[in-house]
Structure 1
């Protein structure tokens, strides 16, 4: 897997949220499909799982994804 390069001048969680939002908008993650898990995304972006969790929380706050405990996080 190719690791995505992040801009060191911007918050990592915000860059990850924007990348995931782009994938949602371009159809990489279509509606009603689950996002990849926190650990695979943390490996892809080269960050701690907590950083990915903060990015996903931002997507939830903005209504782009919804969490279903025990099932995962899904695109709205």
Structure 2
């Protein structure tokens, strides 16, 4: 899941400054639990690819 999101960031599907879709839409798209999406996003945050802002969402850096 994190790999797929990383690829989307790399190919410009989610360009710099864009907001990632929420956990529920992504969980439906990838057919996984929202907690799996949350773990993938945490991985991307640890690697500096995205940043999260409470109440605003997760953005590509």
Shared fold (TM-score, shorter chain, > 0.5): yes
Greater Rg, structure 1 or structure 2? Answer: 1
SS of alignment partner, residue 9 of structure 2: helix
Residue among 28, 32, 36 paired with 1:47: 32
SS of alignment partner, residue 51 of structure 2: strand
Question: Aligned partners of 1:51, 1:28: CA distance in 2, in Å?
Answer: 21
Q: Deviations over 1:17-64 (max 9, x none)?
A: 000000000000000000000000000011110000000000000000
Residue among 53, 56, 59 paired with 1:71: 56
Higher relative contact order, structure no. (Cα contacts within 8 Å, ≥ 6 residues apart) = 2
- Structure 1 gaps, min length 5: 1-15
Q: For residues 1-76 of structure 1, what are the structure 2 equivalents within 5 Å?
A: 16-76=1-61
- Structure 2 gaps, min length 5: none
Q: Give the structure-1-normalised TM-score.
A: 0.79
RMSD: 0.3
